[in-house]
Amino acid sequence: MSEAGLRGAVPAHLRPADRFDLWQTIEALRLGVVPRHRTQDYTVGRAKEMAKLESMLTEGRGLRLLWGEYGAGKTHLLDVVESTALRLGYATARAVLDPRDVPPSHPLRLYRALASGLRYPDEAAEGIGPLFHRLGESAVHLDPASERFSRFLSPALFAQHHAPSETAALAREYVEGHPSDHEKLQRRLERAKWTGPGLLATSDFRTYGRVYVHLIGSLSVWLRDAGWRGLVLLLDEVEYVDSLDSEHLRLATDVLKHFAAATLPREQLHFDAETDLYRGGQSVHKQLPLLFAPDQPLCAVMAFTPLAEIESMMASILASDEPNVRISALGAEAYHELVDRVTALYERTYPQRQFTPSEKRVLHDDGLKSLSGGFERPRAAIRDVVSVLDMLRCGIRRKAPSETT
């Protein structure tokens, strides 16, 4: 069938942008991937969990630990939090931890994944560029005497507006955590008439956790200064740290402690951030405060599978149960609601095909046959529902079980 046939008639009552948004959403669900928008349209059975996650966004700062078994929907909730944060005016940054590319025991690699993937509510581009463009030649962010001055970000912001394009590109790579020769970049900045303090080295040494959490806090404050609400971090598969050897686990735990200290009040921590956390780097790095500003608008959500060792590790970091959000498999009632929501979204996308009660009943009954004590992998279930709706809309007869054996 042609692409036009698959899409169906244009819903005339919708603006072109809305029609395209609906088509994109259904196509993403059809492929089993997450659309950028409308995640709440098909999120079911998570009202209590979402209320706790959204309360952090309302407060403008905080940490939430999202606990759930494999397939329980942790990644989907991260999708919803990200969509909600963007809708509320936050920038977001997301990373999936893994042994090679984004190990939490190497904080520069984690920072790089977050900074280079910065997303904005009203910008298609990602990374540091939109922030620097929005700030322009802000004097307060370039003045070494200002509380908004950053030893990392300010020279790079200067380069965007006063240095040749090649130097500006190198400066963006530097502040996004890519491998760079900071001394070479410093010489180029001086030729462009930068007179502020010299650039600080960005190292992949595993003891630099404080440096990069300070830098992330700097970004959150600058984002607010530029007109957004702040920064929301989303870290998936954090339980990966369970596979680290003892030395790397110690370093990873130190990085997670830094994130907790940067987002939570002292009374919710089992440690003193000023005395118990390691200060790595040269003397100038060690002098950097953990927080760029006392009121920095930084939120973080970390998704974990509840392994005993990981729960014990996080319990040693947190003195309060407040950050924990625990999810379990959804039941039949949630599945029925999911079918209704996806069907309603589908009918909005293809208004020329409204499904009969008997057709909808088939969707509900077929899904229930596969449920066994719980509803897991919501994304796969959504894909299956869309597949059946496609067949019904296109007039394709579904084979009976006896025809497939």
Q: Is the pLDDT of residue 119 over 70?
A: yes
The answer to whether residues 120 and 145 belong to one domain is yes
- Domain membership of residue 81 (yes or no) is yes
| C-alpha neighbours within 13 Å on the C-beta side of residue 126 | 11
> What pLDDT is recorded for position 214?
94
- The more confidently predicted of residues 284 and 193 is 193
Question: Helix, strand, coil: what percent of the chain each, to 5?
Answer: 55, 10, 35
Spatial separation of the C-alpha atoms in residues 124 and 401, rounded to whole Å? 46
Q: Which amino acid is at 157?
A: L
The answer to whether residues 100 and 215 belong to one domain is yes
Q: Is the pLDDT of residue 132 over 90?
A: yes
Last residue of one domain, picked from the residues 326, 359, 376: 326
Spatial separation of the C-alpha atoms in residues 202 and 211, rounded to whole Å? 9
Spatial separation of the C-alpha atoms in residues 234 and 95, rounded to whole Å? 6
Last residue of one domain, picked from the residues 326, 343, 364: 326
Please give the tally of structural domains in the chain.
2
Q: What is the mean pLDDT of the segment spanning 311-330?
A: 88
What residues have CB less than 8 Å from 292, skipping those under 6 apart?
Answer: 150, 214, 217, 218, 220, 221
Residue 307 phi/psi, 5-degree rounding, is -85, 145
Q: Is the pLDDT of residue 140 over 70?
A: yes
- In the chain, count H helices and then E strands: 18, 5
The answer to whether residues 133 and 34 belong to one domain is no
Number of C-beta neighbours around residue 74 at 10 A = 24
- Domain membership of residue 268 (yes or no) is yes
Please name which of 20, 35, 27 lies closest in space to residue 79, comparing C-alpha atoms.
Answer: 35
Measured over all CA atoms, what is the biggest interatomic distance in the chain, rounded to whole angstroms? 79
Please name which of 232, 214, 225, 231 lies closest in space to residue 132, comparing C-alpha atoms.
Answer: 225
> What pLDDT is recorded for position 402?
42
Q: What's the predicted TM-score (pTM) here?
A: 0.83
Average pLDDT over the chain, rounded to whole?
84
Spatial separation of the C-alpha atoms in residues 52 and 64, rounded to whole Å? 8
Q: Is the pLDDT of residue 403 over 50?
A: no
Last residue of one domain, picked from the residues 307, 326, 345: 326
Q: What is the pLDDT of residues 27-76, one digit of tens each?
A: 888 887 766 566 766 677 678 888 999 999 999 999 999 998 877 778 88
- Domain membership of residue 232 (yes or no) is yes
The answer to whether residues 22 and 107 belong to one domain is no
Q: Is the pLDDT of residue 2 over 50?
A: no
Measuring CA to CA, how many Å separate 219 from each of 208, 231, 281, 317?
Answer: 17, 8, 20, 24
Residues 168-183 as b or e (16 or more Cβ within 10 Å = b): bebbbbbbbbeebebe
- Domain membership of residue 162 (yes or no) is yes
Q: Is the pLDDT of residue 277 over 70?
A: yes
Dihedral sign for Cα atoms in the order 82, 234, 325, 377: positive
If you ran DSSP here, which 8-state letter would residue 43 be given?
A: -
Tell me the three state secondary structure of residue 304. Answer: strand
- Domain membership of residue 219 (yes or no) is yes
Range of the domain at 190: 62-326
What percent of the chain stands above pLDDT 70?
Answer: 87
Q: Is the pLDDT of residue 243 over 80?
A: no
- Domain membership of residue 54 (yes or no) is no
Q: What is the mean pLDDT of the segment spanning 215-229?
A: 97
Structure tokens at 231: 């920064």
* Under 8 Å between Cβ of 162 and 193: yes
Helices (H), 32-73: 47-59
The answer to whether residues 304 and 338 belong to one domain is no
